[in-house]
């Protein structure tokens, strides 16, 4: 089952409260803001841009999600984050239920952010979802840009958010690491390990004294083969690094 990733959380935190979260890999995908929730967003306020003005706090948590909010009440950074993480589950479930085709993590994150902002009904009635479920992913990505109005007025913040969601939706998942069976380095290392092992073990395991003697007399051949194998491994790693593989 797919859940909102840290990148998806970072997107929502930035566009809901201007917070720039650092990911576990040390990157900050949405820089320029504080690392923790400002007092302004830790204090319950009335969101007048909503279709119906509603009490809101933190990363978009409203009285639809938490019924005990009172205007002017202030919460800690940890509390508003906790509210958000409990709230977002409903939107994750909604996306999983509405999407009928396979999607990757970036597409799921973009859709959860979109749904969290426009509402579950907004998603389920959207042309975006219709196109996606018909397999028209590129057309679906363009639909994000139509959702930039609030109260009949276009907002720069919504334009930027929809752009970020659309770009994330179209971003392929980067393959971080090959499996052992796919790794060219491992494939190259296996012959080297075999040559090295046989050279060391030949005197003990050879079925005939002559074979053991031959191997010992030509040990330099094994070392040359081993050296060439290691050179090949280094060349592969340099090539992988240049191509962005790890």
Angstrom distance (rounded) from CA 36 to CA 57: 14
Angstrom distance (rounded) from CA 161 to CA 167: 10
Cα–Cα distance list, 184 to 30, 78, 140, 238 (Å): 35, 45, 37, 12
Angstrom distance (rounded) from CA 229 to CA 231: 5
Q: CB of 162 within 8 A of CB of 111? A: no
Angstrom distance (rounded) from CA 54 to CA 69: 10
Query: If residue 150 lies in a helix (H) or strand (E), which one and from where to where?
Result: strand 149-150
Angstrom distance (rounded) from CA 228 to CA 214: 21
Closest CA to 34 of 53, 20, 24, 22: 20
Closest CA to 118 of 95, 100, 96: 95
Report, as residue numbers or ranges, the catalytic residues. 16
Closest CA to 8 of 100, 99, 104: 104
């Amino acid at each position: 089952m797919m859940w909102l990733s840290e990148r998806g959380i970072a997107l929502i935190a930035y566009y809901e409260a201007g917070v720039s979260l650092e990911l576990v890999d040390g990157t900050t995908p949405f820089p320029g803001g504080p690392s923790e929730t400002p007092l302004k967003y830790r204090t319950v306020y009335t969101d007048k841009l909503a279709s119906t003005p509603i009490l809101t706090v933190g990363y978009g948590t409203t009285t639809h999600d938490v019924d005990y909010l009172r205007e002017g009440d202030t919460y800690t950074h940890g509390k508003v984050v906790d509210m958000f993480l409990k709230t977002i589950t409903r939107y994750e479930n909604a996306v999983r239920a509405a999407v009928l085709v396979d999607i990757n993590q970036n597409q799921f994150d973009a859709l959860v952010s979109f749904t969290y902002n426009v509402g579950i009904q907004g998603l389920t009635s959207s042309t975006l979802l219709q196109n996606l479920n018909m397999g028209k992913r590129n057309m679906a990505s363009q639909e994000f840009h139509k959702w930039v109005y609030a109260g009949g007025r276009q907002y720069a913040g919504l334009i930027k958010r929809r752009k970020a969601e659309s770009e994330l939706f179209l971003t392929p998942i980067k393959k971080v690491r090959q499996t052992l069976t796919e790794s060219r380095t491992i494939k190259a290392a296996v012959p080297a390990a075999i040559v090295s092992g046989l050279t060391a073990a030949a005197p003990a395991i050879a079925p005939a004294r002559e074979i053991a003697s031959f191997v010992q007399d030509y040990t330099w051949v094994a070392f040359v083969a081993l050296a060439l194998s290691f050179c090949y491994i280094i060349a592969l790693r340099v090539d992988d690094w240049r191509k962005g593989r790890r």
